[in-house]
Structure 1
Amino acid sequence: MAQRRTPFGDRARYWFDSTLARGAAALVGWMALLCLAVVVPASAVLVWTDPDVPASLTDRLAKVWHLTGETLRLGGATGTPLRVMTSMLLALVTLLYVSTLVGLITTALTERLTALRRGRSTVLEHGHAVVLGWSEQVFTVVSELVAANANQRRGAVAVLADRDKTLMEEALSTRVGPAGRTRLICRSGPTTDPAVLPLTSPATAGVVLILPHDEPDADAEVVKTLLALRAALAGERTRPPVVAAVRDDRYRLAACLAAGPGGIVLESDTVTARLIVQAARRPGLSLVHQELLDFAGDEFYLITEPALTGRPFGDALLSYPTSSVVGMMRGDTPLLNPPPETPIAADDLLLVISRDDDTAWLGDCAEVVEEAAMASGPSTPARAERVLLLGWNRRAPLIVDQLRRRARPGSAVDVVADQGEATIRQVNEADATSGTGLRLTLHHGDVTRPETLRRLDVYSYDSVIVLGRDPVPGQSPDDPDNRTLVTLLLLRQLEEATGRALPVVTELIDDRNRALAPIGPGADVIISGTLIGLLMAQISQNPHLAAVFEELFSADGTGVRLRPATDYVLPGREASFATVVAAARHRGECAIGYRSHDDSSTSPGYGVRVNPPKDERRRWTAEDEVVVIGRD
């Protein structure tokens, strides 16, 4: 069989590619031939079409050479061969020098720009915030740090993560928005490498925040990052405060040891479970938590007040017209809602909720208290509760444990899930031995299917908690929220069909899905990453608040509660908020706000008002609620 002949064009292209593969010398040769093939004929055309062209062929060829030399910067001198060759030699040396110099400058600039794009230059800032790691929490943390720096002349936040610097900058610009006076600086590299951490200058930082990523080994990565930070700061006289978060409480001790004496480590899953249970017991409570934790509204401050030294704590409750006193900081120990007769010592710090740290000013509010409008009956007693838990994830056992801790006799939790049976059995056995009387029942079913929910008498439950699945490696990170949104859509259909509202508490991972959630206005939506991000940002500005929040969000301690307004003021009466504060003081509580039933469907606050002025007057209804700091 005759061999097929290769086309000439293919052979010529192969020969050309082969010569180029020989290196720079071949490329220079081809460039020279190409230039001569264009310049020499063009120069000949210019010479032969010139009206003053020399008559002889030799002079014409010399003119062509002169034009070619000027075009290619090869000197172009004419005369003897020695003169022409010397001129060409000098021109080539000059060309080599200039081209080499330009190449070196271009290469150096390219390498520098590449390094800057890679985020490998060192941050030279002082008092800045350093964020190590990348997850959904980073947008919340950076947003809150930007808000905290709004009244400062110059602030900076440096983010280090093992991601592309340009992608991080684009994501922060899109999700965080304008940073105002705060400079957002991104650096790229592994947070577990002590040689990379100095890029963010942690030794001169005001605070370092370490975020867990979204992978299963997130907690081990946080511990390793803390160890790398300790190694990077070895030999430094001063170290910045460190705030970190882990998901599993089994890693908290290791993280605390790695963080050192001044480190603060939060348990994100435990805190999230506590807030979900609190919101399930009292719908609307998540709105209060959001208001207290972000920097956009009123937040916690520690202030000194020498004028109140020696006076009982109860007097301080009505001593600030535009701020709410909720406790004291005695040394490193927070005293939330202490007994009203507790004396205020000289070195005690008052814990107040205020618009800013300079908006807490003294003023006697006792004169606007109307004792005739105060309620004097007993508090509304707690009763047994029935909770429907739709879905199961790693936080579900913590949620059940929180429900068990304060369960009244006869309480029940019904779980609908297609997984976690072994874990539920263990939780149920532990509850049986504890003797709390919380009945836990598992119903097999897919919560994203309509027939599963139709079989349930959802309106017989006091609250419905919807949980998404744990993210699975290799699966889309949006899958847990996607399933949760489907479940919420089915519950919304039941509400519309019956015309009755369900007390739903929803856990989402991505805050952007809040706007997509088909839920009623003012419903409780717990964004686990957002809450932990808010907590970390608050603690980063004042480390003393870590102990305050630990007590505030604990299952058995003093926390934020929503009580019926009829426990404090007579329904239908118009009274000042100072009257509510005085009534709460009689009950051993600190009133910090209220939720208006008439405005519970109106955004953005959905009726929640935290830290209203003491002289604010309104007509209180039986459906209104009062926000207090107290115990169950």
Structure 2
Amino acid sequence: MGGERPKKRRRVPLRDRARYRFDRTLARSAGSLMGWLVVSCLAVVVPVSALLVWTDPGAPPSLSGRLTAVWRSSAETLRLGAVDGTPLRMLLAALLGLVALLCVSTLVGVITTGLAERLAELSRGRSTVLEEGHAVVLGWSDQVFTVVAELVAAQVPHRPRAVVLLADVDKTEMERALAAHVGPSGRTRLICRSGPASDPGVLALVSPRTARTVLVLPSGEPTADAEVLRTLLALRAVLGEDAEGPPVLAAVRDDQYRAAARLAAGPRGTVLETDTVTARLIAQCVRRPGLSLVLRDLLDFAGDEFHLADADAFHGRPFGAALLGHAGACVVGLLTPQGRTLLNPPADTAITPGSRLIILARDEEAARPEDCRHLVERPVIATAPPHPEDAAHVLLLGWNRRAPLVVDQLRRTARPGSVLDVVTDRSVPAPAREPEPEPSGAARLSVRFQSAALSRPETLLGFDLTPYDGTVVLGPDPGDGPDRPDDRTLVTLLALRLVEERTGRQLRVVTELTDDRNRPLAPLDPGSDVIVSGELTGLLLAQIAQNRHLAAVFDELFSADGSTICLRPAGHYVCPGSVTTFATVVAAARDRGECAIGYRRHDRRATPPDHGVRLNPHKAERREWSPDDQVIVVATDPPTPPTPGPPIPNPTREDAPPAHHRECASD
């Protein structure tokens, strides 16, 4: 067998070979690059200088004179000097010019590099913040925009001079996002620093020791709670055991991290559990339509919010006297000298020296005492007790990590005989068996599960929604569904709207969204309850950041037990159709053991953005109270003992309270 034939050598064009050799020469060293730069400059400067000399009518006639002129032109162009004489002098002048050019270029390069590094360091946000009395926000999530916006909107003197944000996000990106979502910050400076907040060395850059308050936000990642815990430990390492350090406010999603976070936050720390708060609000909105609108108005700094006011004018008097003791504020509770918060205490509770009033007002200046008892018109106050709430039939569409908490809250607040139907497209861990009903009465809440493809609108179109008193729509958790969880929620809401159009029956829908920008896209009736969990948490954090004593107030308002915010028919307090003052409504609510804080009207004027909600009206305000109006009160629901069981509710039995008829006092 013969040998293999040699492969035919590929012909490479001369141009490609020259380019390859040139690239290889440049890659050798910096000296090669400088050499090619010199050759390139000479290849352009010398011919052009010669052309200028030869075309000059006043050029020397001799060849040596013209060459000297070419040398001078080239030397001046390259800043090499223009020394004449022997070739040695010209060579030395050129060498001196090259050395000077090299030194100047090196100096410019050093200055440019230093400035570039300094600017890069500033853009990375690694310089120390020298502020006092500022608010420090640690972490980056959707909640940060609500928190910063509310801190900026806070009334003076509550507004911080500066809000410093530290997150493991690019500084430029944070500033751009804040400018887009928050807008102008007025006199409040927004300062961003980049780096992991769980690193004590990085955390010291934002000067937490001199801060007025520190807020720790959870991210949207699965490990968010663990990162919050690490940040709290880093903050403790920076602050030490200083009892005079700033108040620390943190939020976690899972209850299993709450106890550890409280220990890490220290005695001046407050920890919120966001999933539980969201679940409580969803469950309360099922029973009290319009509650989310009230809380949205109550929690932002644009209108009236909770404050602490002096109670000197009421020392030794009962709490009920303070309810009609302010014309421009609504009293809802007491802060005892021992620091205990009493929300809607009994009217005969004595106000002791050192106590402070918890009021709802636009600012603290509105808490000036003013006797309003003369504004009460007793003849129009309704005297008959209201009907108790009936059993409810609720439909829950969708499932996520907060769904078991929602079911548990519905179980705690359900009336005997209530039913909850859960429809989801995923498997739900249900109890192994239904508990045995107690012989004392009907089950408080029965829970039934059904699997269906909620992502298909025709699924809901085939449901009979007539028996349901309320519908709860939950979206999937991030990572369990589409990239934007609200997309599936919007599809479900669209199907419910089609059901309303076909049946002509308006549904009471409570919807959970993750992005507030999707609120206008939701096909819901104006005034429907839409819960944006991130926004709700941000509003709560901003309120408590201004006054840490309000943490106990909001904890009770959002709990299943104790006093909560309720919307009840105006006919429970005054005769329908009567024209009377708000002070009369406050007196009627006081007689029932409640604190009235506003009303919601239902007429053609009940349009966005308030949807008819009016908080803290003046006590002298007179209006006609129609049967459709509602009074907003802080009240305690009739006690219902909690039932033990897993997160998926287990029904119990309870006797229903007797029914009453409603009457009005005659004029």
Counterpart in the other structure of 1:463: 470
1:163 & 1:230 partners in 2: Cα distance?
Answer: 22
1:82 deviates by 3.3
1:477 deviates by 4.1
Task: List aligned pairs for 1:539-618, cutoff 5 A.
Answer: 539-599=544-604, 601-618=606-623
More helix by share: 1
**Which amino acid counterpart does residue 230 of structure 1 have in structure 2?**
R
Task: List aligned pairs for 1:468-547, cutoff 5 A.
Answer: 468-472=475-479, 477-478=483-484, 480-547=485-552
**Which amino acid counterpart does residue 582 of structure 1 have in structure 2?**
A
1:420 deviates by 3.7
Counterpart in the other structure of 1:294: 300
Q: Alignment partner for residue 376 of structure 1, among 376, 383, 390? A: 383
Unaligned runs of 5+ in 2: 1-6, 638-667
1:159 deviates by 1.2
1:48 deviates by 1.4
Counterpart in the other structure of 1:101: 107
**Which amino acid counterpart does residue 550 of structure 1 have in structure 2?**
D
Q: Alignment partner for residue 631 of structure 1, among 636, 641, 645? A: 636
Asked if structure 2 preserves the Cα contact closer than 8 Å seen for 1:599 and 1:607, the reply is no
The 1:350/1:431 distance shift into structure 2, 3 A limit, reads farther
Asked if structure 2 preserves the Cα contact closer than 8 Å seen for 1:599 and 1:606, the reply is no
Q: Alignment partner for residue 305 of structure 1, among 287, 307, 311? A: 311
Q: Alignment partner for residue 78 of structure 1, among 67, 75, 84? A: 84
The 1:192/1:275 distance shift into structure 2, 3 A limit, reads same
**Which amino acid counterpart does residue 564 of structure 1 have in structure 2?**
P
Identify which range, 619-628 or 494-503, moves more after superposition: 494-503
1:456 deviates by 2.7
2:158 & 2:64 partners in 1: Cα distance?
Answer: 80
Unaligned runs of 5+ in 1: none
1:448 & 1:463 partners in 2: Cα distance?
Answer: 20
1:3 deviates by 1.2
1:221 & 1:215 partners in 2: Cα distance?
Answer: 9
Asked if structure 1 preserves the Cα contact closer than 8 Å seen for 2:153 and 2:159, the reply is no
**Which amino acid counterpart does residue 411 of structure 1 have in structure 2?**
S
1:274 aligns with 2:280: yes
Counterpart in the other structure of 1:343: 350
**Which amino acid counterpart does residue 405 of structure 1 have in structure 2?**
R
1:193 aligns with 2:199: yes
The 1:508/1:427 distance shift into structure 2, 3 A limit, reads farther
The 1:113/1:121 distance shift into structure 2, 3 A limit, reads same
Aligned residues: 629
1:355 aligns with 2:362: yes
1:163 deviates by 1.3
Q: Alignment partner for residue 393 of structure 1, among 396, 400, 412? A: 400
Q: Deviations over 1:493-514 (max 9, x none)?
A: 1112222211100000011111
**Which amino acid counterpart does residue 207 of structure 2 have in structure 1?**
S
- TM-score, normalised to structure 2, is 0.91
Asked if structure 1 preserves the Cα contact closer than 8 Å seen for 2:328 and 2:616, the reply is yes
1:182 deviates by 1.2
Percent of residue pairs bearing the same amino acid type? 60
Counterpart in the other structure of 1:6: 12
1:129 aligns with 2:135: yes
SS of structure 2 residue aligned to 1:516: coil
Counterpart in the other structure of 2:224: 218
Counterpart in the other structure of 1:141: 147
2:631 & 2:540 partners in 1: Cα distance?
Answer: 24
1:426 & 1:513 partners in 2: Cα distance?
Answer: 38
1:600 deviates by 7.5
1:153 deviates by 8.6
Q: Deviations over 1:321-366 (max 9, x none)?
A: 1110001001321111111111111100100000112122221111
1:538 & 1:203 partners in 2: Cα distance?
Answer: 21
Q: Alignment partner for residue 61 of structure 1, among 42, 50, 67? A: 67
Asked if structure 1 preserves the Cα contact closer than 8 Å seen for 2:212 and 2:247, the reply is yes
**Which amino acid counterpart does residue 323 of structure 2 have in structure 1?**
L
Asked if structure 2 preserves the Cα contact closer than 8 Å seen for 1:222 and 1:246, the reply is yes
The 1:212/1:385 distance shift into structure 2, 3 A limit, reads same
The 1:296/1:426 distance shift into structure 2, 3 A limit, reads farther
The 1:485/1:248 distance shift into structure 2, 3 A limit, reads same
Asked if structure 1 preserves the Cα contact closer than 8 Å seen for 2:482 and 2:488, the reply is no
Q: Deviations over 1:273-332 (max 9, x none)?
A: 111111110100111111111111100000113111111111111111111000100132
Task: List aligned pairs for 1:412-451, cutoff 5 A.
Answer: 412-422=419-429, 424-425=430-431, 437-451=444-458
* RMSD after superposition: 2.0
Q: Deviations over 1:471-528 (max 9, x none)?
A: 117x6541x2110000001111111222221110000001111111100010000001
Asked if structure 2 preserves the Cα contact closer than 8 Å seen for 1:397 and 1:427, the reply is no
1:110 deviates by 0.6
Asked if structure 2 preserves the Cα contact closer than 8 Å seen for 1:153 and 1:181, the reply is no
The 1:428/1:72 distance shift into structure 2, 3 A limit, reads farther
Q: Deviations over 1:126-161 (max 9, x none)?
A: 111111111111111111111116667971111111
SS of structure 2 residue aligned to 1:489: helix
**Which amino acid counterpart does residue 261 of structure 2 have in structure 1?**
A
1:245 deviates by 0.4
2:325 & 2:462 partners in 1: Cα distance?
Answer: 55
1:431 deviates by 9.8
The 1:149/1:5 distance shift into structure 2, 3 A limit, reads farther
The 1:78/1:141 distance shift into structure 2, 3 A limit, reads same
1:260 & 1:524 partners in 2: Cα distance?
Answer: 36
- TM-score, normalised to structure 1, is 0.96
1:602 deviates by 1.0
SS of structure 1 residue aligned to 2:214: strand
SS of structure 1 residue aligned to 2:501: helix
Q: Alignment partner for residue 626 of structure 2, among 616, 621, 628? A: 621
**Which amino acid counterpart does residue 7 of structure 1 have in structure 2?**
P
**Which amino acid counterpart does residue 406 of structure 2 have in structure 1?**
I
**Which amino acid counterpart does residue 398 of structure 1 have in structure 2?**
L
SS of structure 2 residue aligned to 1:143: helix
1:622 deviates by 1.4
The 1:192/1:294 distance shift into structure 2, 3 A limit, reads same
1:246 & 1:184 partners in 2: Cα distance?
Answer: 25
Q: Deviations over 1:31-77 (max 9, x none)?
A: 11111111101111121122222222122111111111111011120
